[in-house]
Structure 1
């Protein structure tokens, strides 16, 4: 078998080719491989991103918590995303109980379904064998393996966008006007569901799909425009229904985490919208190193941290290939771009593919890749390397279809075009050699293996072509070796990530590859539950701080603090001292509904929610800077006897530079209305000031 088996149904053919028995078994094998990679040892104790894990547990306490994605069981504030990705996890927890594998099982299922659905989508566009290769590429993409073993929203987002691509492909392939419109509306609906999963990021694919529909359907131009207008209506409704429900909910509801006024609309267009693209106050500052106004006096980020505190390198066209991001997604990115350039040139020379469905497919997948890649490359707000899993379906589809196209050119009579296949293999092998060589301690042998495989493959392809008598068997064997060359190092990285000794516990910032993958090295391991390594070029420098942040012995504030450190609980576990604090609050709270309020970032609170069944609330949202609960709310709770104990922080909690405004007001309120509990009362340690942030302290509050 070779990719030539699809010659009867080239890219964009109207009818999907018949499938043989071995192809059906091959698809089943790829899906099984995906399931193994995504599910391997997910029950080894990891809880994924504890920010979302705590929310999932809280969401099982009440309907409104479930509906709006409340972070805490008391329904004070939501996570800073819509809750669609958390709903399957909450349902799984309701059925199986709160365990790591129950949290991650929906992610595994969604990842495998995405692989299967990508196959079905590409099959309709480019044939069965190309679809199998695309599914295999997606399965073995390192960052996709990492994210599907975690509970971040990106897994469901990718699945929904692939579903949109499937509906779009069915739309442009049909000759029936009504069916074409119906499938396009389904496409818009799935993108809208993606919006309810991760907001405006889902809309990135819309320009490419809209252009593809205009260029790739047989309908009259007027009908195409009306279809797109109808799809825009469906997209708007399916995108904003949840935001409208939250903001217009008549009863009690959680504050919208990450917003400045408690509304979902503010979050959509602020912190999670334009703030992510342009930075500034909505996005934790714009990219680059040096001093920043949103950070404490004297603190600066090194060059290479890019946009946002946990950025993936400097903004620009090189970001997707850089130290932080390259090993996550870019293995086949040069190949995909090469394919798009070749297809564009050939289309100009031949006035484009004759089949509109083929044209639509290239526009759709090409637009997905290029627009997403550019947005990610130039995003100046908070941006994480694991977002690049959204590029994986487009890279898989384009690379697979491109290799099939190059194989047909290789076997054709072109004087030069037959060189495209050897060139593609050589390009991919060289780039894999470069990526694997960035950290030779992490399976460094693969760089030499891929180099040798690439040389052998290219030599065989050239030899078979230049021989007086063409040897089809040799060329087919060389093609198989070419596919192996293309996927060798990503497959090793993916397998090693899934089978790591830690059980693939990727925590807050999932990443594939060596320690520091996705960050560029130098983090210092201070983020509990997160892979070591982090800021490219080292940690930010802060006067008086160890590990880069003030007062943190492990890289973050309060590392030796009284109640276990400022970021205790980020791995979902409470320290012994934190548990003593919680036990003391539970025993002495009286009739208070809230056992303990934790002043600081949500990651400080997550361990208390996960590690107990007490009603523990956070203060300030994810960053510790949201106005929830407000000072008035704290005063009311205290007066009504609903709140008695607060676990405060010397800086008011939250991340450095994010504690002004509401955080400062809460800190002042605690100082005025609460008294410090003697550590001896709960068996705690004496006060240990650890720098500008101080240590966590238990307070008893009075009306």
Structure 2
């Protein structure tokens, strides 16, 4: 007769009372059924070898996935140079001044911040401080954030749907073209997606636990992560809240009162994570910090609600001149925007399958209990997907196609979780048809995207992918209904179908990483003859028409905000749209008589194509004495003397060595002042000095009044004024940028250095 010892009884009680949390503790313990001994692995061993009850292939497969993601995001990382020079200049400034790093200033002397909150600049600035400022140190954190996003997507899906589904979800994120683009670029979107995915993982952990304090800690962590997502890209970081909150409210293992209390505490975490910087900016004396770029009243909170908030959603002047209809970039607002020529090649490859399998997953779990984890997963990822798609689709303000990178984890998870549920029911012909439909619709839509966006690029790919996907799907459906000895062909057919269906997005992703991307409007995909690489060619983007990429046909994009056009021609002028200066006190000082309007000296405002392989049109007084800097710096078919992003971190503003030498020789607080952030960014990268931006991104920010500028000049704080550049209200209208330009032209003599018009503010003529 076996004697039950107290120790054995305790072990049995532990095993019986919390069986569903056995794999959630982070440790890997197992009780031997024969000896009754309990063995455990340390966290390091678990990290390297997995839990003892994991399949032997699971951990090696995860490492292979992460290695592949690292390859995609790190391969030839510096081929984009400084990528978006606007943010690169702010990172360089962050290495020169702590206050510039804290507030996200464009220049090291803190005249104005970039038009986004500074969280992503903190990370890139820290990397640049550690490794020295270069293209590699600038972009390395972005690539690592991509690997982290893949790992977190895998982890969140694996916990409730198994290892295979987790690996598949991580792979799909890696094979998303816009993810390959933005995790190799210095825009804030990389950090935004990482933080949102980490918050989703935290909610997964909170839902699955039965311990209230543990759940509360995870919910606080999720809230803080979303708060920091707000500090990365403001309101876009909050789009995941409905899905995350609903998943916890529905499926957490606590009473309704406890669940609501936990959600409230999570929201407090959001407020704390985001609000501390808003409070800091509000309490810091405005005279002792930089002007908040993009805001109407030097307020970070107003920036969130206006320029980066309602202005983006509703359009209008608060959107930085973007106007309605997507600001001329994203096509006509509407339910099908994610499938138009601007967004299709970035994100839509798996979107039809994701929506189909999301619905199928809910049907499969229809009678599950409230706390069913798989249904909670579908609520979480599906809520993220649907809310973000609707927001991006119906935004009336400026919306760029790369914003869709925020959908990558949600699409991948919906495909993996819904597909896993359908696969578990594959003995039914109905569910085999569901899986086959997802495969075929993916291949068919890939055929359409490749035909529309890259017709002349690898034309055989779309046919091979479509034919093999259809054959594989039919084999899966038919063989799955046959005797057991034939059913193995069903699995083979499904593998062929899935791999073929992923052919388009895989090829587009690999094409994206083989070339550089610069400017404010990067786009993924291959370089196509007669068109910008990755950019939607042909048609009217404001009308959402599908474009063509056939050889010799140049498309255009309406740069309503940037004030330029994109196209193959570099001879046409880019006319800056009229901007409405923010409300507030008018600038003091008496401007010279005469209208300050008119065209910019020695060239129109810079364009901002940003797509690789195509120049911005129009010329400008930029450091390279050619095409635009910052938002418009491009490489490819630029005119002679244009600035090209050089690999290895040389940037696009290095050709005008004479002007750079003049700036470096100054000892004033700002070596020069220039209209517009884009032009200022180029000069910051071209020299080792601080360059003042007047007017911010659109040229209409009243960050420096005429009276303040005159005081700076009187005190010797600015040595040069460089003409040209600017958008919006920068060269026309009655904004302070226009008044300053007119005052300088009336009181100082113009000289030309390397094709750039500049004024020496230490030598007044009157």
TM-score by length of 1: 0.85
Instruction: Report whether the alignment pairs 1:437 with 2:451.
Output: yes
The aligned runs of 1:506-655 (5 Å cut-off) are 506-515=518-527, 516=532, 519-521=535-537, 535=556, 546-547=571-572, 549-550=574-575, 555-559=616-620, 564-565=625-626, 567-568=628-629, 570=633, 571=645, 572-574=651-653, 576=655, 578-584=656-662, 587=665, 592-599=668-675, 601-649=676-724, 653-655=726-728
Distance 1:562 1:489 in 2: 39
Call closer, same or farther: CA 1:248–1:659 in 2, change over 3 Å: farther
- Work out whether residues 46 and 100 of structure 1, in 8 Å CA contact, stay in contact via their aligned partners in 2: yes
Match in the other structure for 1:675: 748
Match in the other structure for 1:179: 214
Instruction: Report whether the alignment pairs 1:450 with 2:465.
Output: yes
Aligned residue among 334, 359, 366 for 2:352? 334
- Work out whether residues 140 and 491 of structure 1, in 8 Å CA contact, stay in contact via their aligned partners in 2: yes
Q: CA RMSD in A?
A: 3.0
Aligned residue among 195, 208, 224 for 1:160? 195
Match in the other structure for 1:143: 178
Aligned residue among 297, 322, 327 for 1:308? 327
Match in the other structure for 1:493: 508
Q: Which moved more, 1:171-180 or 1:469-478?
A: 469-478
Distance 1:541 1:54 in 2: 21
Match in the other structure for 1:277: 313
Call closer, same or farther: CA 1:574–1:354 in 2, change over 3 Å: closer
Instruction: Report whether the alignment pairs 1:51 with 2:76.
Output: no
CA drift at 1:535: 4.1
- Work out whether residues 14 and 173 of structure 1, in 8 Å CA contact, stay in contact via their aligned partners in 2: no
What secondary structure, in the 3-state scheme, does the structure 2 residue paired with 1:94 have?
A: helix
Aligned residue among 179, 197, 214 for 2:232? 197
CA drift at 1:579: 3.4
> Which whole-Å deviations, capped at 9, do the CAs of 1:111-147 have from their partners, x for residues lacking one?
1111111111111121111000000000111100010
Aligned residue among 339, 343, 347 for 1:325? 343
> Which whole-Å deviations, capped at 9, do the CAs of 1:250-294 have from their partners, x for residues lacking one?
471111111111111111111011111111111145666xxxxxx
CA drift at 1:356: 2.9
Q: Which runs of 5+ in 1 are unaligned?
A: 1-11, 289-305, 525-530, 686-694
Distance 1:112 1:473 in 2: 34
What secondary structure, in the 3-state scheme, does the structure 1 residue paired with 2:96 have?
A: coil
What secondary structure, in the 3-state scheme, does the structure 1 residue paired with 2:440 have?
A: helix
What secondary structure, in the 3-state scheme, does the structure 1 residue paired with 2:109 have?
A: coil
TM-score by length of 2: 0.78
Instruction: Report whether the alignment pairs 1:255 with 2:291.
Output: yes
> Which whole-Å deviations, capped at 9, do the CAs of 1:341-399 have from their partners, x for residues lacking one?
2234455xx44556432222111111000000000001111111111010000000010
Q: Which runs of 5+ in 2 are unaligned?
A: 1-19, 25-50, 541-548, 576-602, 608-614, 634-644, 646-650
CA drift at 1:641: 1.6
Match in the other structure for 1:384: 400
- Work out whether residues 700 and 730 of structure 2, in 8 Å CA contact, stay in contact via their aligned partners in 1: no
Aligned residue among 431, 436, 461 for 1:422? 436
> Which whole-Å deviations, capped at 9, do the CAs of 1:403-453 have from their partners, x for residues lacking one?
212212222xx3533311111111111111111111222232220121122
> Which whole-Å deviations, capped at 9, do the CAs of 1:586-627 have from their partners, x for residues lacking one?
55x5x533221122x211122211121123222221222211
CA drift at 1:644: 2.9
